[in-house]
């Protein structure tokens, strides 16, 4: 097999080496192929480990199912933990019809059950029975992919560890010879990667799944610990389990390689455009609008969304505070008819409670929605509520990743942020403002005589001459109007 | 290995095996239905078969049936009895089903496994 010969020759990657480079099979799992730079090592065994309930089996099964559906590579599942019927039920909840795949001979499931209590051991034996079953199943569907879930149950079922270890070693060699790409799942150990040290036998590609709960909010993460003969992403990537299966979010900070656009787009408020060098925001920039409660942050967001749709572009609005109908009603009172843009398919409002999921899941949702809807403008209203589910540090980390991703796609982003108290910049606002290209601060000044004056200050706007004076603005059914500048 | 069968011969007069001692069927002995799963004629499988035959002769007094299944020839049979290790001896009758894996070299353990002798030893 063209395997170990090329290891860390990244820079001198001459084209004639391509035949020597490790071949990979795509998993077909959303995002995972990007993280692993192409999938699992072809004809070898990958180890997926994690604690209970981290999604090991589902990842393995999805590898088989997607292989059968997308790449015409039938699969065999040796299930030691769950019966075939249980697996069918579990996968049905993710939208996969296993019985149909079995009928089409694209999938075979062999449920291997060992009950230690029923078994007496005396003298020598080997696990040829398991080999024979696996071989028969592989021949039955002409399998190219194999899932062993969870092979380490052999250690629980059989008393003689020595035999099991020797046989496992033989099994992994045998799988390699059989030319199938295999996934082995294993339970996380206390101090080792897996409870029974399976990583000792399978060391080509190791994935660790993790399921953390922080303040009642859970986040699933995936990490490629090891990938012999291949480069791979090394970060922890959040992943989602939803009705479409697993999706890994392959975004982390991508660095500052994005190209900056000089194109300008309107903020939707002509008088604000005038302050922004008379043209508006840069396309692909990120805009922060902060202000105390009721200063009109969402109105600016709605105006921006409206202007985007009026140009015939798509805007995606993430609402973490109000329901879509509430937003539509409130915005129509300041002259923004957003409903027509929704019916024309140019605007999508995605409303969720921030506490409904962890930060990473929100990031994953945002990512999936952007991939699907392909907007040119994304509005997150407000990011304040996200701070409720994570500390400032992780919010900043998430925003950095999100902003990098958006910039790469030339998507203009607007974030609103609620601050408390007047005049003093909130810690959160200061913390994330360094990520932003433009920062608009809204406020209101109590004038004493039962009237409050709304104020707007353009605190920064990178790369353009802008008006830095404090301005008064009004909200009416004609929209937003900023006074005192031309 | 070809499938070989050995069926009950004449019952011998040893009452100690017949633990039921039922008055209604005084002459009926338990019929032992055993199946030995192997993978080819390996030294281990031959040893297991020989151990088993000797043990049956000594303790079951002809009231037994051994079926040898070679999984290399009939791989699909491995699923039904949940075989992963070879050799595996399956006691199909009397119920409940019992499994003993290994070359059956430790006679005591086999007898315990087949319920011919309780774990503590009563004889």
The two tokens of residue A219 are 């986040």
> CA A444, CA A296: separation in Å to the nearest integer?
10
Distance from the Cα of residue A232 to its chain's centroid: 16
Tell me the residues of chain B between 38 and 57 that have a Cβ less than 8 Å away from chain A. 39, 44, 47-48, 51
Most B CBs within 10 A among A120, A127, A154, hence the mutation to make, goes to A120
- Residue A313 known to be catalytic: no
Average pLDDT of span A21-29: 89
A130/B102 Cβ within 8 A:
no
B98/A132 Cβ within 8 A:
no
Nearest by CB: A124 against B88, B102, B113: B102
Question: Which region holds residue A4: left if phi is over 0, alpha if psi is between -120 and 50, else beta?
Answer: alpha
- What mean pLDDT value characterizes chain A? 84
Chain B residues whose CB is inside 8 A of the A119 CB are 99-101
Return the top range by mean pLDDT from A138-147, A254-263, B88-97. Answer: A138-147
Question: Is the predicted pLDDT of residue A10 greater than 60, yes or no?
Answer: no
Question: Is the predicted pLDDT of residue B8 greater than 80, yes or no?
Answer: no
Average pLDDT of span A445-452: 71
Fold of domain A15-248: Rossmann fold (3.40.50)
pLDDT of residue A99: 94
- Structural domain boundaries of chain A? 15-248, 264-483
**Per residue in A68-84, pLDDT tens?**
999 999 999 999 988 98
**H-helix or E-strand containing B80?**
helix B77-80
| Number of helices (H), then strands (E), in chain B | 3, 4
Length of chain A: 486
Assigned domain for B9 exists: no
CB-CB neighbours of A161 under 10 Å:
11
- What's the number of domains chain B is made of? 1
What is the 8-class DSSP label of residue B53? H
- What mean pLDDT value characterizes chain B? 76
> CA A32, CA A42: separation in Å to the nearest integer?
15
Chain B residues whose CB is inside 8 A of the A109 CB are none
**Per residue in A46-61, pLDDT tens?**
999 998 888 899 999 9
Q: With b meaning 16 or more CB within 10 Å and e meaning fewer, what string describes B43-61?
A: ebbebbbebbbebbeebbb
**Per residue in A91-132, pLDDT tens?**
888 888 999 999 999 999 999 988 877 788 888 899 999 999
Could you tell me the pLDDT band of residue B106, with boundaries at 50, 70 and 90? confident
Task: Let me know if the fold of A15-248 is the same as that of A264-483.
Answer: yes
Nearest by CB: A130 against B84, B106, B109: B84
> What residues of chain A have any CB closer than 8 angstroms to a CB in chain B?
110, 112-114, 118-130, 132-133, 135-136, 154, 157-158
Assigned domain for B102 exists: yes
Say which residue, B63 or B101, is predicted with more confidence: B101
Say which residue, B16 or A482, is predicted with more confidence: A482
Could you tell me the pLDDT band of residue B10, with boundaries at 50, 70 and 90? very low
> Coil, helix or strand for B84?
coil
Residue whose token pair is 């609005």: A317
Nearest by CB: A122 against B79, B86, B109: B109
Chain A residues whose CB is inside 8 A of the B101 CB are 119-122, 125, 158
pLDDT of residue B83: 93
Relative to beta strand B98-101, strand A40-41 is unpaired
**Per residue in A157-208, pLDDT tens?**
888 888 999 999 999 999 999 999 999 999 888 888 888 888 878 778 999 9
pLDDT of residue A402: 83
Most A CBs within 10 A among B38, B85, B98, B118, hence the mutation to make, goes to B85
pLDDT of residue B30: 59
> CA A281, CA B105: separation in Å to the nearest integer?
84
Length of chain B: 123
Tell me the nearest-neighbour CA distance from B98 into chain A, angstroms. 6
List, in sequence order, every residue forming a beta bridge with A214; answer none if it has no partner: A217
The two tokens of residue B28 are 């009926």
- The dihedral of CA A182, A188, A193, A194: what is its sign? negative
Is residue B85 within 8 angstroms of chain A, CB to CB? yes
Assigned domain for B10 exists: no
Could you tell me the pLDDT band of residue B47, with boundaries at 50, 70 and 90? very high
pLDDT of residue A388: 65
Chain A residues whose CB is inside 8 A of the B109 CB are 120-122
CB-CB neighbours of B25 under 10 Å:
8
Could you tell me the pLDDT band of residue A278, with boundaries at 50, 70 and 90? confident
Assigned domain for B121 exists: no
Average pLDDT of span A320-347: 88
Average pLDDT of span B5-27: 44
User: Per the omega criterion (within 30 degrees of 0), is the bond before B94 cis?
Assistant: yes
Assigned domain for B3 exists: no
Residue whose token pair is 């409130």: A330
> CA A411, CA A394: separation in Å to the nearest integer?
22
Assigned domain for B7 exists: no
Could you tell me the pLDDT band of residue B70, with boundaries at 50, 70 and 90? very high
Contact A271/A481 with Cβ under 8 angstroms?
Answer: yes
Which domain does B86 fall in, by range?
32-113
Average pLDDT of span B44-63: 88
Which among A23, A236, A313, A321 is annotated as catalytic?
Answer: A321
Is residue B71 within 8 angstroms of chain A, CB to CB? yes
Contact A385/A354 with Cβ under 8 angstroms?
Answer: yes
**Per residue in A285-300, pLDDT tens?**
999 998 887 888 889 9
Tell me the nearest-neighbour CA distance from A168 into chain B, angstroms. 12
Question: Is the predicted pLDDT of residue B16 greater than 50, yes or no?
Answer: no
> CA A324, CA A329: separation in Å to the nearest integer?
9
| Per-residue 3-state assignment (H helix, E strand, C coil) for chain A | CCCCCCCCCCCCCCHHHCCCCCCEECCCCECHHHHCCCCEECCCEEEEEECCCCCHHHHHHHHHHHHHHHCCCCEEEEECCCCHHHHHHHHHCCCCCHHHHHHCCCEEEEECCCCHHHEEECCCCECHHHHHHHHHHHHHHCCCEEEEECCCHHHHHCCCHHHHHHHHHHHHHHHHHHCCEEEEEEEECCCCCECCCHHHCCCCEEEEEEEEEECCEEEEEEEEEEECCCCCCCCEEEEEEECCEEEECCCCCCCCCCCCCCCEECCCCHHHHHHCCCCCEECCCEEEEEECCCCCHHHHHHHHHHHHHHCCCCEEEEECCCCHHHHHHHHHCCCCCCHHHHHCCCEEEEECCHHHCCHHHHHHHHHHHHHHHCCCEEEEECCHHHHCCCCHHHHHHHHHHHHHHHHHCCCEEEEEEECCCCCCCCHHHHHHHCCCCEEEEEEEEECCCCCEEEEEEEEEECCCCCCCCEEEEEEECCEEEEECCC
Chain A with chain B: Cβ pairs closer than 8 A: 93
B84/A122 Cβ within 8 A:
no
Could you tell me the pLDDT band of residue A406, with boundaries at 50, 70 and 90? confident
List, in sequence order, every residue forming a beta bridge with A296; answer none if it has no partner: none
> CA A241, CA A239: separation in Å to the nearest integer?
7
Average pLDDT of span B52-78: 88
Q: For the CA atoms of chain B, what is the radius of gyration?
A: 15
Chain A residues whose CB is inside 8 A of the B113 CB are 120, 122
pLDDT of residue A261: 81
Which among A62, A73, A81, A167 is annotated as catalytic?
Answer: A81
Question: Is the predicted pLDDT of residue A312 greater than 70, yes or no?
Answer: yes
> CA B122, CA A436: separation in Å to the nearest integer?
84
pLDDT of residue B72: 92
Average pLDDT of span B66-88: 92
Assigned domain for B107 exists: yes
- A113 → chain B, closest CA residue: B82
Assigned domain for B12 exists: no
A122/B106 Cβ within 8 A:
yes
> CA A27, CA A397: separation in Å to the nearest integer?
28
Could you tell me the pLDDT band of residue A425, with boundaries at 50, 70 and 90? low
B103/A123 Cβ within 8 A:
yes
B103/A124 Cβ within 8 A:
yes
Chain B residues whose CB is inside 8 A of the A121 CB are 100-102, 109
Burial (CB count within 10 angstroms: exposed 0-12, middle 13-18, buried 19+), residue A118: middle
pLDDT of residue B108: 83
Q: What is the CATH number of the domain that holds B98?
A: 3.40.30.10
Could you tell me the pLDDT band of residue A448, with boundaries at 50, 70 and 90? low
A136/B109 Cβ within 8 A:
no
- Residue A1 Cα distances to A22, A24, A169, A205, B105, angstroms: 9, 12, 19, 16, 42
Return the top range by mean pLDDT from A51-55, A86-90, A458-462. Answer: A86-90
Question: Is the predicted pLDDT of residue A304 greater than 60, yes or no?
Answer: yes
Could you tell me the pLDDT band of residue A8, with boundaries at 50, 70 and 90? very low
User: Looking at domain A264-483, what is its CATH homologous superfamily?
Assistant: P-loop containing nucleotide triphosphate hydrolases (3.40.50.300)
> CA B78, CA B97: separation in Å to the nearest integer?
15
Rounded (5°) CA angle A258-A264-A266: 130
> CA B85, CA A132: separation in Å to the nearest integer?
10
Distance from the Cα of residue A105 to its chain's centroid: 33
CB-CB neighbours of A287 under 10 Å:
24
- Residue A481 known to be catalytic: no
List, in sequence order, every residue forming a beta bridge with A137; answer none if it has no partner: none
Chain B residues whose CB is inside 8 A of the A110 CB are 79
Distance from the Cα of residue A265 to its chain's centroid: 29
Say which residue, A8 or A64, is predicted with more confidence: A64
The two tokens of residue A399 are 């925003």
**Closest of A278, A292, A286, A327 to residue A413, by C-alpha:** A286
What is the 8-class DSSP label of residue B8? -
In the Cβ-directed half-sphere of A29, how many Cα atoms lie within 13 Å? 27
What ipTM was reported for this prediction? 0.75
């Amino acid at each position: 097999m063209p395997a170990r010969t090329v290891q860390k020759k990244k820079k001198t990657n001459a084209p004639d080496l391509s035949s020597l480079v490790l071949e990979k099979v795509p998993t077909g799992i959303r995002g995972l192929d990007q993280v692993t730079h192409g999938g699992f090592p072809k004809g070898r065994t990958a180890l997926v480990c994690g604690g209970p309930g981290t999604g090991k089996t589902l990842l393995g099964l999805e590898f088989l199912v997607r292989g059968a559906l997308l790449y015409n590579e039938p699969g065999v599942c040796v299930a030691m933990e769950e019966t075939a019927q249980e697996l069918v039920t579990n996968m049905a909840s993710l939208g996969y019809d296993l019985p149909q795949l079995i009928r089409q001979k694209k999938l075979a499931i062999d449920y291997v059950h060992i009950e230690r209590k029923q078994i007496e051991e005396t003298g020598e034996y080997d696990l040829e029975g398991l080999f024979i079953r696996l071989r028969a199943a592989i021949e039955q569907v002409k399998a190219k992919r194999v899932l062993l879930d969870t092979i380490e149950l052999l250690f629980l079922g059989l008393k003689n560890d020595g035999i099991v270890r020797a046989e496992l070693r033989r099994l992994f060699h045998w799988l390699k010879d059989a030319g199938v790409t295999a996934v082995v799942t294993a339970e996380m150990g206390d101090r080792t990667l897996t409870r029974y040290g399976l990583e000792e036998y399978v060391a080509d590609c190791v994935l660790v799944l993790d399921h953390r709960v922080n303040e009642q909010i859970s986040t699933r993460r995936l990490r490629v610990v090891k990938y012999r003969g291949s480069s791979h992403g090394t970060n922890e990537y959040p992943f989602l389990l939803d009705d479409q299966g697993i999706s890994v979010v392959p975004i982390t900070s991508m660095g500052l390689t994005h190209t900056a656009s000089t194109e300008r787009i309107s903020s939707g408020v002509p008088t604000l455009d005038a302050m922004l060098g008379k043209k508006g925001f840069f396309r692909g920039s990120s805009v922060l609008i902060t202000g105390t409660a009721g200063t009109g942050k969402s109105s600016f967001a709605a105006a921006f969304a409206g202007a985007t749709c009026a140009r015939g572009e798509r805007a995606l609005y993430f609402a973490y505070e109000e329901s879509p109908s509430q937003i539509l009603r409130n915005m129509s009172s300041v002259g923004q008819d957003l409903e027509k843009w929704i019916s024309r398919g140019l605007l999508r409002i995605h409303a969720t409670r921030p506490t409904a999921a962890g930060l990473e899941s929100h990031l994953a949702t945002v990512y999936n929605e952007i991939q699907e809807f392909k907007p040119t403008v994304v509005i997150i209203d407000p990011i304040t509520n996200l701070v409720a589910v994570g500390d400032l540090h992780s919010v900043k980390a998430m925003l950095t990743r999100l902003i990098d991703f958006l910039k790469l796609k030339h998507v203009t982003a607007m974030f609103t942020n609620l601050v408390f108290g007047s005049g003093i910049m909130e810690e959160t606002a200061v913390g994330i403002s360094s990520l932003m290209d433009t920062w608009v601060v809204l406020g209101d000044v109590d004038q004493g005589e039962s009237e409050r004056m709304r104020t707007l200050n353009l605190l920064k706007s990178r790369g353009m001459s802008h008006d830095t004076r404090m301005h008064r603005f009004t909200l009416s059914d004609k929209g937003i109007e900023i006074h005192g500048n031309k | 290995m070809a499938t070989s069968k050995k069926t009950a011969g004449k019952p011998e007069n040893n009452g100690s095996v017949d633990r039921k001692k039922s008055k209604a069927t005084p002459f009926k002995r338990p019929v032992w239905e055993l199946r030995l799963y192997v993978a080819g004629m390996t030294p281990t499988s031959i040893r297991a078969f020989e151990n088993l035959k000797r043990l049956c002769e000594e303790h079951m007094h002809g009231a037994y049936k051994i079926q040898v299944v070679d999984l290399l020839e009939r791989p699909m049979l491995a699923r039904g009895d949940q075989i992963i290790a070879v050799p595996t001896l399956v006691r199909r009758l009397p119920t409940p089903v019992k499994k003993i894996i290994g070359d059956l070299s430790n006679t005591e353990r086999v007898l315990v496994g087949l319920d011919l002798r309780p774990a503590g030893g009563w004889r």
